[in-house]
Amino acid sequence: MKDRKPSPEAIKAFPLLPRLIATSFGAGFLPVMPGTWGALAAIVLWLPLYIWCHQPVVFTVTLAALVIYTVAGTWASSLSERYWGKDPVVACADETVGQWLSMLPIAGYADGAPWWLIPLSLGLFRFFDIFKPLGIRQMERLPRGYGMMADDILSGIYSAAIILVINYFLKVWPW
């Protein structure tokens, strides 16, 4: 469970670039459910790519964004703990990364996946992120930003695996 919201003074003290990264460009400051806002930020940033680009571009850019934001988010989340305390509620870069990971199988679909897989990926990811079954809670024990990111990465992996299984059994994908 995430801890407290930082004071306005602590927010201002945190340098701008890592603050933007840690809060998923400010989504973590939105009222109520900052983790869900961080996951929704991932979808909002990803949808134009998904709608307007071809599958190889969508998959490659999603994977690249995932890797880059994991590194940047781990750094910024580690730094956020110095200013805001352990696992601050507004630091939601981890949810953005986890959501992108959960959508990776959707990004890999050649002719565009059915639209309902996108909200399903959000629901699955948030379920795993909130309830933390199957070893996800243990990932939080890692130090600093590593623990903040690792539990959401594992939540995203579980969500992506379920989407792959659904696609296999429902024959959503032609292969």
Supply the pTM of this predicted model.
0.92
The first and second tokens of residue 75, run together, are: 């750094």
Report the share of the chain in percent with pLDDT over 70: 94
Query: Dihedral, CA atoms, 94, 97, 99, 105, nearest 10 degrees?
Result: -150
pLDDT at 87: 87
Q: What CA–CA distances, in Å, run from 86 to 74, 80, 145? A: 13, 8, 9
* Mean local confidence (pLDDT), 80-101: 95
pLDDT of residue 109: 76
Per residue in 25-82, pLDDT tens?
999 999 899 999 999 999 999 999 999 998 899 999 999 999 999 999 999 999 999 9
